[in-house]
Amino acid sequence: MTGGVNGVALAVFAVFFLLVTVMGFLAARWRKAGDEYSLDEWGLGGRSFGTWITWFLLGGDVYTAYTFVAVPAAIYAAGAAGFFAVPYTILVYPLIFTFLPRLWSVCHRHGYVTTADFVRGRFGSKGLSLAVAFTGILATMPYIALQLVGIQAVLDVLGVGGGENTNWFIKDLPLLIAFGVLAAYTYSSGLRAPAMIAFVKDTLIYLVIIVAIIYIPIKLGGFDDIFAKASEAYSQTNPATGRPRGALVSTPDAQWTYATLALGSAMAMFMYPHSITATLSSRSRDVIRRSTTVMPLYTLMLGLLALLGFMAIAAGVKVTNGQLAIPQLFEDMFPAWFAGVAFAAIGIGALVPAAIMSNAAANLFTRNIYKDFIKPDATPAQETKVSKLVSLLVKVGALVFVLTMDKTVAINFQLLGGIWILQTFPALVGGLFTRWFHRWALLAGWAVGMIYGTLAAYGVASPTQQHFGGSAKEVPGIGQIGYIGLTAFVINVLVTVVFSFVLKAAKAPEGIDVTSPGDYTAEAEAKAAPTLRPGTSPAPNPS
C-alpha cells in the first residue's frame, strides 16, 4: 500500500461509476416494458434479449469481481492451484450447450421464471421446489458478498475510507454508498440495468487485461523473469504451515484436488440462479446456442488474467490481505489515470453480477416461497413488488456477510456456495432429460448432499480459519483429497438412485409431470404459445 488517496485514479473511477449509475437508472426506459408490473419484465427483461446482450449477461458469470480479485489472489498466495478456474470454464461450455436450450424451451413454454418453477412442474413437488429455491438463495448470498469484497478491495487501494483504526462507519462508508446505488437502480430497472451496464463492464475488462498482459511484463523484464521470481517465492517456507508457500506447476499430490475442483465447479457454475436468469432473458433457443458457442472467448482472457498473480509477486507486491494484491499491482504498475480505469473495471465487474444475482434470488423467493406457500393468489403486480423488496433484502444480507466475515479468504465464500448449489444438479439437469428419478428420492439425495457438504466444509481448517478454511477434504473410501462439493454430489446421486428404486418398487406416488416431450425442443411453438402459470399445462404428461 502506498498510503494516502490516489486522487487521479479515484477521479477516473468516480467518472465511470457515475456513468454506469446513470445507465442503471436509464435502463428502466430501455426496451420499455409492455407491462411494467410483470415479473417477466422486471426479473427477465421481457425475455427479449438477443445474442450479444445474452452473451454479455452470461459473461457476467465468468468475469466478476471474484475473477479479477480472488482468482489471481489465489495464484499470488499458492501458485498453480489457483488456475483451476481456467479448465472449469472450458469444461462448462459443452455442458451448458447441451442443457440450457432445453431449459429455455420448457421454461418459455410454461412461463417458468426460476429453476424451482421447472422442478415443481416436472416432478409435481412443492417440497422439492422449495429445496431448490432455498439452495439457490443460500448459495447466492456469499457470491454477492464476494462482489462487494471486490469493490471494497478497490476502495482500500484507492485510499478511500481511512485506515484500519478509522471508525468502522467512516471506513465502510464508500462501500455503503456503492451498495446503495446498486440497490437503487436494480430496484428501479430490474434486469435491464445490468444488461445495459454489461457492455461497459466487458469493454473495460477486455481493455484492462490486454493492456496488463502486454504493459506489465515489459516493465517487469518479460515473462522469464516473472516466472523465475514467482518460482523462487513459492519455494520459500510458509511459517504458518511449515511447507512451501506454493508451486509454479501443480504437484502430483495436488492433481486430484485440482481435477475434482475444476469438474465440480464446472457442473455448479450454471446451477446458480443468476446464470439461469440470464439464460431465460433471451428471446429464443437459437440465441442460447449462439451465445454459448462464443463464450470461450471469455476463457481465453481468463487464462491471461490469472497470470496477474505471478506478476504481483514479481513486482514485489506485499499485502496482508491477498484480495488487495491485484488492485495494488495496478496502482504500482499503471499510470494513475489508467489505474483508475482498471479499478473501474473491477468495480463495475462487481456491480453487474451482483445486480443479476440479487434479482435471481428475489425471483426464487417470490415465485417459490411467497406465491407457493404464503399468497397463492398473488397477482403479477404483487409478485413484482415482492421481488423488488426481496432483492434489496438480499443485498443487505450480503453486505452484512461482508462486514462481519473474514475477507482474507474471500474465495472460500464462492466455493462454499458451489458446494451447496451443486446439490440441485440432479433435479434440474437430470429432470431435463429424464423423469425416472422419484421426487422424494431427489429430495432425500439433496438433503444428504447438503448436510454432508456443509459439515465437511465446516471441518476444514486453515492457518487463518478454524472452520470453513477450504473446500477440499479426503474423499471417503479413496484416500485422495478432493473437492467437497463433488463428493457431496456423488453421495447425492447414489442416495437418489437407491431411493428411486425403493420408492418405485413401493409404488409411492410420483407426482404429475405437467410438461410434455415437445416442450423441451420447442422453438417457434414456444414463441407462439400462451404463457402458462407454473403448475398448469394444456396436456399433463403423467409419465
Confidence of residue 532 (pLDDT cuts 50, 70, 90): very low
Whether the pLDDT of residue 526 is over 60: the answer is no
Structure confidence by residue, pLDDT tens digits, 380-427? 889 999 999 999 888 888 887 777 766 655 566 677 788 999 999 999
Q: Please calculate the CA angle 321-324-328 and round it to the nearest 5 degrees.
A: 135
Whether the pLDDT of residue 541 is over 50: the answer is no
Whether the pLDDT of residue 357 is over 80: the answer is yes
Q: State residue 539's pLDDT score.
A: 43
State the cell numbers at 2: 502506498
Whether the pLDDT of residue 296 is over 90: the answer is no
Q: Kindly tell me the sign of the dihedral angle through the C-alpha atoms of 262, 264, 266, 272.
A: negative
Q: Kindly tell me the sign of the dihedral angle through the C-alpha atoms of 263, 264, 267, 273.
A: negative
Q: State residue 536's pLDDT score.
A: 46
Rounded-to-integer distance, Cα 308 and Cα 69, Å: 10
Tell me the pLDDT of the chain averaged across its residues: 85
Q: State residue 147's pLDDT score.
A: 83
CB 95, CB 267: distance < 8 Å: yes
Comparing C-alpha atoms, which of 176, 177, 534, 145 is closest to residue 357? 145
Whether the pLDDT of residue 371 is over 80: the answer is yes
Whether the pLDDT of residue 445 is over 50: the answer is yes
Confidence of residue 252 (pLDDT cuts 50, 70, 90): confident
Whether the pLDDT of residue 440 is over 50: the answer is yes
Q: Is 416 exposed, middle or buried (0-12, 13-18, 19+ CB in 10 A)?
A: buried
Strand 472-474 versus strand 243-244 pairing type: unpaired
One DSSP character per residue, 133-155 reads HHHHHHHHHHHHHHHHHHHHHHH
Whether the pLDDT of residue 8 is over 70: the answer is yes
Q: 3-state SS of the chain: helix, strand, coil percent to 5?
A: 75, 5, 25
CB 105, CB 526: distance < 8 Å: yes
**Distance, C-alpha 152 to centroid of its chain:** 18
Whether the pLDDT of residue 5 is over 50: the answer is yes
212-216, 257-261, 317-321, 380-384, range with the lowest pLDDT: 317-321
Higher pLDDT, 165 or 509: 509
Structure confidence by residue, pLDDT tens digits, 95-138? 999 999 999 999 999 999 999 999 999 999 999 999 999 999 99
Mean pLDDT calculated for residue range 220-239: 90
CB 39, CB 387: distance < 8 Å: yes
Mean pLDDT calculated for residue range 286-292: 89
**pTM (2 d.p.):** 0.89
Mean pLDDT calculated for residue range 296-301: 80
CB 349, CB 65: distance < 8 Å: yes
Higher pLDDT, 236 or 163: 236
Mean pLDDT calculated for residue range 342-356: 87
Whether the pLDDT of residue 485 is over 70: the answer is yes
Higher pLDDT, 370 or 158: 370
Whether the pLDDT of residue 333 is over 90: the answer is yes
Percentage, residues of the chain above pLDDT 70: 89
Q: State residue 411's pLDDT score.
A: 61
Percentage, residues of the chain above pLDDT 90: 43
The phi, psi pair for 170, rounded to 5°, reads -65, -40
Structure confidence by residue, pLDDT tens digits, 157-210? 888 755 555 555 666 777 788 888 888 888 888 888 888 888 888 888 889 999
CB 489, CB 264: distance < 8 Å: yes
301-315, 453-467, 494-508, range with the lowest pLDDT: 453-467
96-100, 175-179, 216-220, 471-475, range with the lowest pLDDT: 175-179
CA dihedral angle for residue 104, residue 541, residue 123, residue 360, rounded to 10 degrees: 20
Whether the pLDDT of residue 212 is over 70: the answer is yes
Mean pLDDT calculated for residue range 61-65: 70
